[in-house]
């Protein structure tokens, strides 16, 4: 089990959260809590950089969906970057690859100015 670490950085398109470790039942609330007070303006893009994600269970998927709802409620969009193969497979099986915009890495996700949901 890898502890969860979430770091935030700013990009021209909006905040980028790097999620490192396990996103599971025990740690999913940490992702939800990391959005409290996150500077985010309408029209911005929240990017979740999953390059360091080691494990993601159904609670983690639910936390990703909560992040999406949060971004949309604040007038912006969300994109996932560097989604690990196992998580990408799960997203595909349940159809969430059609809900999230997915980029190969955070640099690609933050390169454009358009908001994706």
Q: Any idea what the CATH number is for the domain that residue 45 is in?
A: 3.30.750.24
Looking up tokens 């969430």 gives 96
B/e letters for 67-94, b = 16+ CB within 10 Å, e = fewer, are bbebbeebebbbbbbbbeeebbebbeee
Q: How many residues would you count in the chain? A: 117
Does residue 68 fall inside a structural domain? yes
Does residue 78 fall inside a structural domain? yes
Does residue 117 fall inside a structural domain? no
Does residue 60 fall inside a structural domain? yes
What end-to-end distance do the CA atoms of the chain give, in Å?
31
Does residue 84 fall inside a structural domain? yes
> Domain of 65?
5-109
**Whether the predicted pLDDT of 49 surpasses 80:** yes
**What is the tens place of the pLDDT at every residue in 12-31?**
999 999 999 999 999 999 99
Question: Does the pTM of the predicted model rise above 0.85?
Answer: yes
In total, how many domains does the chain have?
Answer: 1
Q: SS3 for 37? A: coil
Does residue 115 fall inside a structural domain? no
**What is the tens place of the pLDDT at every residue in 64-116?**
999 999 999 999 999 999 999 999 999 999 999 999 999 999 999 999 654 54
**What is the tens place of the pLDDT at every residue in 51-78?**
999 999 999 999 999 999 999 999 999 9
The two structure tokens encoding residue 99: 């809900």
- DSSP states along 70-104: HHHHTT-EEEEES--HHHHHHHHHTTGGGTSEEES
Does residue 116 fall inside a structural domain? no
The pLDDT score that the predictor gives to residue 117 is: 44
**Whether the predicted pLDDT of 38 surpasses 90:** yes
């Amino acid at each position: 089990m890898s502890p969860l670490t979430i770091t935030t950085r700013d990009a021209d398109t909006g905040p980028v959260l790097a999620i490192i470790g396990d996103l599971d039942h025990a740690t999913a609330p940490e992702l939800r809590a990391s959005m409290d007070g996150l500077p985010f303006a309408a029209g911005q893009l929240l990017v979740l950089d999953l390059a360091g994600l080691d494990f993601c269970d159904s609670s983690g998927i639910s936390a990703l969906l909560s992040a999406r709802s949060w971004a949309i409620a604040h007038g912006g969009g969300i994109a996932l970057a560097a989604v690990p193969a196992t998580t990408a497979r799960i997203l595909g099986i349940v159809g969430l690859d059609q809900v999230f915009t997915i980029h190969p890495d955070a640099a690609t996700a933050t390169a454009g100015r358009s908001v994706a949901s």
